[in-house]
Amino acid sequence: MYLHERDKWTNFTWDAAVVAPLLGDARFDQGNLLGRVAGLGFSVGDRLQLDAVSQEVVASSRIEGQELDPSKVRSSVARQLGLGPCDDSLDTGAVDGAVAVMLDATVNFAAPLTLERLAGWHAALFPAGYSGLRRIAVGQLRTGPMQVVSGAIGHEKMHYDAPAANAVPALMEEFLAWFNENSSDNLLKAAIAHLWFLTIHPYDDGNGRMARALTEMLLARSDGSARRFYSMASFIMAHREDYYREIESAQKGTRDITSWLVWFLQAFRCAIEASQEAVSAAEWRDAWWRRAEGVAMNQRQRYMLQRLMGDFQGKLTSGKWAKMCKVSSDTALRDISDLVAKGLLEKAPGSGRSTSYHVVNLSK
């Protein structure tokens, strides 16, 4: 028997003795992170927000097997949020919809959730009206059966059979009324909403991504801020099999959703912990630039130092500098040598025949 087949299935219950301590720990972690970010200043917070939202959009789509170009997502987020320069050379049309959904959910977290708003999200996720080669009813509640299956054609395994289509409108009306009620604990509500929405499975496709957008909306309410600094979807993607197993178990279980709440809150704490590491790196960069203040450098040098302390891949060589800055090898070597002389770069030990460099730790 599925959860939705049980009498009054939306009257969820849980073991407060199990959930309450974990919820308290999660709230503490949440407050600690938000406090640290507040102390970093607005510009550093902007970078952390750009990172977190971009990661969330990419990971939420990847969970469903859809790969979005991270650089295009980042550029789209930067443009839509007005967070600094974005790469205008990138065609972000294929990702703008997914970004718009996440930003509407989080930036406008206080606005009521309605069927019309959800329809807009759904249309943004499927602008062409197709899911792969299959035409779907975009922006409309499904009118047919819905099953969650996996496996090759002819060898499918059914994981879940959703409520009948004729029950969906009333189920969504109940869900939306509950969602829009004031809550003293939006963190717990985020976990419940995630499972509840997936159990209804109201659309032909995109239910997972929309459930995670709803989760982010309630987490933004819980944070009391439209600025996102952690990514739940990134953790879920890294533990996708566990995620699917927990959802399936809850959907085949009783109204007691203790196990799901425990998993969600543990996932939340892990997402916060990952963000704490990003904040520590941001604090280090912020301190580094304060210590380097007053050191003369050209635009190329500043750009490359920022990249080295950000998303730079591999070792820094003069050849890589020349390629990234579109300058000659001689100019690249002069730029690097100047920063070495100023104590901002140093040769990496054991560089071998090809000399490489790294940023000097000014905190020593």
Q: Which residues are annotated binding-site positions for ATP?
A: 205-212, 243-244
7: enclosing H helix or E strand: none
Residues 6+ apart with CB under 8 A from 295: 342, 344
Q: Contact at 8 Å (CB) between 260 and 244?
A: no
Residues 6+ apart with CB under 8 A from 187: 23, 26, 27, 30, 218, 219, 222, 265, 268
Q: Contact at 8 Å (CB) between 80 and 100?
A: yes
Q: How far apart are CA 138 and CA 57, in angstroms?
A: 20
Binding residue positions = 205-212, 243-244
- 215: which DSSP letter? H
- 256: which DSSP letter? B
Angle at Cα 170 formed by Cα 165 and Cα 171, nearest 5°?
80
Residues in the chain: 364
Is there a catalytic annotation at residue 201?
yes
Distances in whole angstroms, Cα of residue 20 to Cα of each of 26, 28, 30, 185, 284: 10, 12, 15, 11, 35
Q: Contact at 8 Å (CB) between 236 and 59?
A: yes
Q: Contact at 8 Å (CB) between 335 and 298?
A: yes
Beta bridge mates, 149: 158
**Beta strand segments in 211-297, E:** none
Q: Which residue has the tokens 């891949």?
A: 313
Active-site pick, 159, 194, 201, 239: 201
Q: How far apart are CA 317 and CA 325, in angstroms?
A: 12
Residues designated catalytic = 201
